[in-house]
């Protein structure tokens, strides 16, 4: 089991940038694909981005493609989500997740979840 803790959220204005970090504990981090999801009030949790174990494969949702970038540092047991050109519709709780497969894109592909962190984008 991997324990995950997100940081870096907050309140920003439209057009600003934020970088989320997810620190993982446990010896299996370097063997897990990792992902970011988000959940807005009244909506289901949705896929944002994922990255393979080595970092050479990535996937992202169409809504964030070109604005958000996922990366990882296996030496630091950390995965990042760089968010640029933020929009009010990006407002949500963001969750880090450790995957059950190489490059998941659905909730069912991930087995361990962080507590989530709030990102609020004002217009």
pLDDT number for residue 60: 97
* Residue 27, pLDDT score: 66
Rounded mean pLDDT, 19-44: 91
Where residue 102 falls among pLDDT bands split at 50, 70, 90?
A: confident
pLDDT > 80? residue 28: no
- Give the separation between CA 2 and CA 45, rounded to whole angstroms: 20
């Amino acid at each position: 089991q991997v324990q995950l803790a997100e940081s870096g959220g907050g309140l920003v204005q439209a057009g600003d940038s934020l970088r989320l970090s997810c620190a993982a504990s446990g010896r299996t981090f370097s063997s897990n694909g990792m992902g970011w999801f988000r959940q807005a009030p009244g909506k289901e949790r949705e896929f944002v981005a994922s990255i393979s174990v080595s970092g050479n494969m990535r996937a992202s949702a169409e809504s964030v493609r070109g604005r958000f970038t996922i990366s990882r540092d296996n030496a630091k047991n950390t995965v990042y989500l760089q968010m640029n050109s933020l929009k009010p519709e990006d407002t949500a709780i963001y969750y880090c997740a450790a995957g059950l497969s190489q490059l998941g894109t659905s909730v069912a592909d991930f087995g361990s979840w962080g507590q989530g962190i709030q990102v609020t984008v004002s217009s």
